[in-house]
Amino acid sequence: MAQLSDITNAAIRREIEDFLERPEEIARTVELFARVSPLMQEIAAALIEGDNGAVDRLTVQALDQSVEALEIMDDGLIAGMGIVGIKFRESFIFVPEVLACARAMKAGMAHIEPILSAAGVEPIATVIMGTVKGDLHDIGKNLCIMMLRGAGFEVIDLGVDTSDDAFIEDVEKHCSPILGMSALLTTTMPNMGKTIEALIDADLRDEVQIMVGGAPVTQEFADDMGADGYGKDALDCVALAKRLAEAAG
């Protein structure tokens, strides 16, 4: 079993010591970072710091050293976002800090995505994402999309203020997709239920797995609305999407 001291990067060690509390998460994170190269640790540390300039530079450096794009994404960028997600979940950091980390991740992904696209990597599943009708907030949705894409999903982003018809149109277009709906306002949350009803009316409910999320949304509300799952944050969203994709076969 790997030890904290096996991780060469002091900043990553500090992050684990200061912010991770659950034993299984500590063990998994130590195992991960003890395995990856010092350069990947450095990319992850820069991402956690929200330093987009450093992530940009280090990603280019890694590619120049012939490190695989997939390795940079998994062992540097996504590994870093894993710690960011835990810090957000535990309220050590808030949305501005997460946005800075996301900006750093985007700086790295700008170099990685074209390489992965050209390689034609098969996605795990297709996820259709949109903020519900009447709601123009998209920070949470965009973070989820970034993490889903990083985790290997193809994501169709319908943007904000998404009508039932727009959701239905894209569900019809794609085979057995996952549908993700987001809402930030308690006043617009009921529109999740209206969209699910519209899918039932269109005879499409059984064709799609539905996940919902957003700051005011809860598991109870998701159940009441008839969703298949609820994701508390972007990390949860990815784990949920993987479960739903498996369930859909």
Partner 1 sequence: MTTEAVGPMTSRARVLAALRREPVDRTPVCNPTSVATVELMDLVDAPFPLANRDPELMARLAATSYTELGFDSIMPVFSIIQESSALGCNMQWEQKDNWPTVRMSEPIWRDADDIRIPNDFLLHPDMVCVLDAIRILKKRFGDEVAIIGKTMGPWTLGYHCFGVEAFLLMSLDDPGKTKLCLDRMKEATLQFGLAQIEAGADALTLPDHATGDLVSGEYYARYLKDLHVEFAERLPVPLILHICGRTIDRMDYIAQTGMAAFHFDSKNAPDESMTVMHDRIALVGNINNPETLFAKGPEVVRQEVLKNLEAGVQLVGPECAIPLQTSIENLLEISQTVREWHGARGRAH
Other Cβ atoms closer than 10 A to 212:
29
Token pair of 43 as six digits: 């990319």
Residue 97 binding partner 1, by CB under 8 A? yes
Buried residues in 19-43 as b, exposed as e (16+ CB within 10 A)? bbeeeeeeeebbebbbebeebbbbb
Nearer residue to partner 1 within complex by CB, 119 or 136: 136
Q: Which of 138, 157, 170, 228 binds partner 1 (CB under 8 A)?
A: 138
Among 18, 38, 60, 94, binds partner 1 (CB under 8 A): 94
Q: Name every residue whose Cβ is closer than 8 Å to that of residue 194 and which is 6 or more positions away in sequence.
A: 133, 164
Label the pairing between strands 126-131 and 154-157. parallel
139 sits near partner 1 (criterion: CB under 8 A) = yes
Quick check: 214 and 183 in contact, CB under 8 A?
Answer: yes
Site mask for partner 1 (CB under 8 A), range 60-79, x = bound: --------------------
Regarding 185 and contact with partner 1 (CB under 8 A), the answer is yes
Binding mask 1-40 for partner 1 (x = CB under 8 A): ----------------------------------------
Q: CB nearer to partner 1: give 62 or 234.
A: 234
User: Sheet holding 209-213: strands in order across?
Assistant: 154-157, 126-131, 178-182, 209-213, 229-231
43 close to 62: Cβ distance less than 8 angstroms: yes
Nearer Cβ to partner 1 (13/133): 133
Residue choice 224, 239, 246, 247 for contact with partner 1 (CB under 8 A): 224
Rounded distance, CA 249 to CA 10, Å?
A: 42
Q: Which two tokens stand for residue 62?
A: 């890694």
Residue among 180 and 213 whose Cβ is closer to partner 1? 213
Query: Using the rule CB under 8 A, is 218 a contact of partner 1?
Result: yes
Q: Considering only 36-44, 62-70, 198-206, 212-220, which stretch makes contact with partner 1 by CB under 8 A?
A: 212-220
Measured from the CB atom, the residue of 63 and 99 that comes closer to partner 1 is: 99
**Binder among 44, 50, 54, 130 for partner 1 (CB under 8 A):** 50
Q: Which is nearer to partner 1, 50 or 130 (CB)?
A: 50
As given in the structure block, the two tokens for residue 199 are 């899918």
Q: Binding of partner 1 at residue 186 (CB under 8 A)? A: yes
Quick count: other Cβ atoms within 10 Å of Cβ 205?
16
Q: What is the C-alpha separation between 43 and 153, in angstroms, rounded?
A: 22
Is position 133 an interface residue for partner 1 (rule: CB under 8 A)?
Answer: yes
Question: Residues interacting with partner 1, by CB under 8 A?
Answer: 50, 91, 94-97, 99-100, 103, 133-139, 142, 160-161, 184-191, 215-218, 220-221, 224
